[in-house]
Chains A and B, each alone.
Chain A
Amino acid sequence: MSNKISEILTFECETGNYHTFCPISCVAWLYQKIEDSFFLVVGTKTCGYFLQNALGVMIFAEPRYAMAELEEGDISAQLNDYKELKRLCLQIKKDRNPSVIIWIGTCTTEIIKMDLEGMAPKLENELGIPIVVARANGLDYAFTQGEDTVLAAMAHRCPEQNTLVDNKKVIQQDSTIQDFFSFLSLEKKDETTNNSSIKSKKHPPLVLFGSLPSTVASQLSSELKRQSVQVSGWLPTQRYTDLPSLGDQVYVCGVNPFLSRTATTLMRRRKCKLIGAPFPIGPDGTRAWIEKICSVFNIKTKDLEQREQQIWENLKDYLDLIRGKSVFFMGDNLLEISLARFLIRCGMIVYEIGIPYLDKRYQAAELLFLQNTCKNMGIPMPRIVEKPDNYNQIQRMRELQPDLAITGMAHANPLEARGINTKWSVEFTFAQIHGFTNARDVLELVTRPLRRNNNLENLGWNDLTKKEKQIKFN
Chain B
Amino acid sequence: MKLAYWMYAGPAHIGTLRVASSFKNVHAIMHAPLGDDYFNVMRSMLERERDFTPVTASIVDRHVLARGSQEKVVDNITRKDKEERPDLIVLTPTCTSSILQEDLQNFVDRASTTSNSDVILADVNHYRVNELQAADRTLEQVVRYYLEKACRQGTLDQSLTKEPSANIIGIFTLGFHNQHDCRELKRLLQDLNIKVNKVIPEGGSVKDLQSLPKAWFNLVPYREIGLMTAIYLEKNFGMPYVSITPMGIVDTAECVRQIQKHVNNLVLNKKVDYEPYIDQQTRFVSQAAWFSRSIDCQNLTGKKAVVFGDATHAASITRILVREMGIRVSCTGTYCKHDTEWFKEQVQGFCDEILITDDHTEVGDMIARIEPSAIFGTQMERHIGKRLDIPCGVISSPVHIQNFPLGYRPFLGYEGTNQIADLIYNSFTLGMEDHLLEIFGGHDTKEVITKSLSTDTDLTWNYESQLELKKIPGFVRGKIKRNTEKFARQNNITTITVEIMYAAKEALSA
Q: Which residues of A does B touch, CB under 8 Å?
A: 16-17, 19-24, 42, 44-46, 48-50, 52-54, 56-57, 59-60, 63, 66-72, 74-75, 79, 84-85, 87-88, 91-92, 107-108, 110-112, 137-143, 391, 394, 408-414, 417, 464-465, 469, 472-474
Contact partner of A67 (CB less than 8 A), chosen from B5, B35, B42, B49, is B5
Q: Shortest beta-carbon distance, B288 to chain A, in Å?
A: 32
Q: Are B4 and A54 in contact (CB under 8 A)?
A: no
Closest partner residue, chain A, to B40 (CB atom): A410
Contacts A17-B59, A71-B127, A111-B99; A410 near B37 (Cβ below 8 A): yes
Q: Are B38 and A54 in contact (CB under 8 A)?
A: yes
Judge if B10 is at the interface, Cβ distance under 8 Å.
yes
A57 to B1, CA, bound (A): 25
Q: Are B49 and A45 in contact (CB under 8 A)?
A: no
Q: Shortest beta-carbon distance, B93 to chain A, in Å?
A: 11
Judge if B204 is at the interface, Cβ distance under 8 Å.
no
Closest partner residue, chain A, to B11 (CB atom): A45
| 6 A-B residue pairs with CB within 8 Å | A17-B56, A17-B57, A46-B126, A72-B127, A108-B96, A111-B99
Q: Which residues of B does A touch, CB under 8 Å?
A: 1-7, 10-11, 13-14, 32-38, 40-42, 44-45, 48-54, 56-57, 59-62, 65, 76, 83-84, 94-96, 99-100, 126-128, 130, 380, 383, 400
Q: Are A48 and B4 in contact (CB under 8 A)?
A: yes
Counting chain A CB atoms within 10 Å of each CB, which of B41, B56, B400 scores highest?
A: B41
Query: Cβ of A56: which chain B residues have Cβ within 8 Å of it?
Result: 400
Closest partner residue, chain A, to B64 (CB atom): A139
Q: Are B5 and A88 in contact (CB under 8 A)?
A: no
Query: Cβ of B62: which chain A residues have Cβ within 8 Å of it?
Result: 139-140
Known: A19-B41, A474-B84. 17 other contacts (CB 8 A): A21-B35, A46-B95, A48-B6, A53-B41, A60-B380, A68-B3, A107-B95, A110-B65, A111-B65, A138-B35, A413-B50, A414-B49, A414-B53, A417-B51, A473-B52, A474-B56, A474-B83
Closest 7 CB pairs of A and B: A22-B35, A138-B33, A410-B40, A417-B50, A45-B11, A84-B1, A138-B35
A87 to B2, CA, bound (A): 10
Contacts A139-B61, A474-B56; A107 near B3 (Cβ below 8 A): no
Q: Shortest beta-carbon distance, B99 to chain A, in Å?
A: 5
Q: Are A21 and B38 in contact (CB under 8 A)?
A: yes
Query: Cβ of A17: which chain B residues have Cβ within 8 Å of it?
Result: 56-57, 59, 76
Closest partner residue, chain A, to B1 (CB atom): A84
Closest partner residue, chain A, to B84 (CB atom): A472
Q: Are A16 and B51 in contact (CB under 8 A)?
A: no
Contact partner of A139 (CB less than 8 A), chosen from B44, B65, B99, is B65
Q: Shortest beta-carbon distance, A81 to chain B, in Å?
A: 8
Q: Are B100 and A111 in contact (CB under 8 A)?
A: yes
Closest partner residue, chain A, to B125 (CB atom): A72
Query: Cβ of B126: which chain A residues have Cβ within 8 Å of it?
Result: 44-46
Q: Name A's interface SS.
A: helix
Query: Cβ of A74: which chain B residues have Cβ within 8 Å of it?
Result: 1
Query: Cβ of B96: which chain A residues have Cβ within 8 Å of it?
Result: 46, 107-108, 111
A46 to B83, CA, bound (A): 28
Query: Cβ of A143: which chain B residues have Cβ within 8 Å of it?
Result: 35
Contact partner of A412 (CB less than 8 A), chosen from B44, B60, B99, is B44
Query: Cβ of B3: which chain A residues have Cβ within 8 Å of it?
Result: 66-69, 88, 91-92
Q: Shortest beta-carbon distance, A449 to chain B, in Å?
A: 16
Query: Cβ of A410: which chain B residues have Cβ within 8 Å of it?
Result: 37-38, 40-41, 44, 53
A391 to B383, CA, bound (A): 39
Contact partner of A413 (CB less than 8 A), chosen from B45, B60, B130, is B45
Query: Cβ of A48: which chain B residues have Cβ within 8 Å of it?
Result: 4, 6-7
Closest partner residue, chain B, to A79 (CB atom): B1
Contacts A49-B10, A410-B41; A138 near B34 (Cβ below 8 A): yes
Q: Shortest beta-carbon distance, B483 to chain A, in Å?
A: 31
Closest partner residue, chain A, to B5 (CB atom): A66
Contact partner of A46 (CB less than 8 A), chosen from B4, B6, B13, B383, is B13
Q: Are B36 and A68 in contact (CB under 8 A)?
A: no
Q: Are B11 and A46 in contact (CB under 8 A)?
A: yes
Counting chain A CB atoms within 10 Å of each CB, which of B32, B40, B60 scores highest?
A: B40
Query: Cβ of B33: which chain A residues have Cβ within 8 Å of it?
Result: 22, 107, 137-139
Query: Cβ of B34: which chain A residues have Cβ within 8 Å of it?
Result: 16, 20, 22, 138-139, 141-142
Query: Cβ of A44: which chain B residues have Cβ within 8 Å of it?
Result: 11, 95, 126
Closest partner residue, chain A, to B50 (CB atom): A417
Contacts A17-B56, A48-B7; A413 near B49 (Cβ below 8 A): yes
Q: Shortest beta-carbon distance, B306 to chain A, in Å?
A: 18
Contact partner of B14 (CB less than 8 A), chosen from A49, A57, A140, is A49
Q: Are B95 and A112 in contact (CB under 8 A)?
A: no
Query: Cβ of A53: which chain B residues have Cβ within 8 Å of it?
Result: 38, 41-42
Q: Are B51 and A414 in contact (CB under 8 A)?
A: yes
Q: Are A60 and B44 in contact (CB under 8 A)?
A: no
Closest partner residue, chain A, to B95 (CB atom): A44
Closest partner residue, chain B, to A141 (CB atom): B34
Closest partner residue, chain B, to A53 (CB atom): B42
Contacts A54-B41, A465-B50; A68 near B95 (Cβ below 8 A): no
Q: Shortest beta-carbon distance, B24 to chain A, in Å?
A: 10
Contacts A21-B35, A107-B60, A473-B52; A59 near B65 (Cβ below 8 A): no
A22 to B34, CA, bound (A): 7
A70 to B7, CA, bound (A): 14
A140 to B61, CA, bound (A): 6
Q: Shortest beta-carbon distance, B139 to chain A, in Å?
A: 20
Q: Shortest beta-carbon distance, B442 to chain A, in Å?
A: 26
Closest partner residue, chain B, to A418 (CB atom): B50
Contacts A138-B35, A464-B50; A408 near B1 (Cβ below 8 A): no
Q: Are B52 and A411 in contact (CB under 8 A)?
A: yes
A46 to B16, CA, bound (A): 13
Query: Cβ of A85: which chain B residues have Cβ within 8 Å of it?
Result: 1
Query: Cβ of B44: which chain A residues have Cβ within 8 Å of it?
Result: 409-414
Q: Shortest beta-carbon distance, A77 to chain B, in Å?
A: 11
Query: Cβ of B48: which chain A residues have Cβ within 8 Å of it?
Result: 413
A79 to B37, CA, bound (A): 30
A141 to B83, CA, bound (A): 27
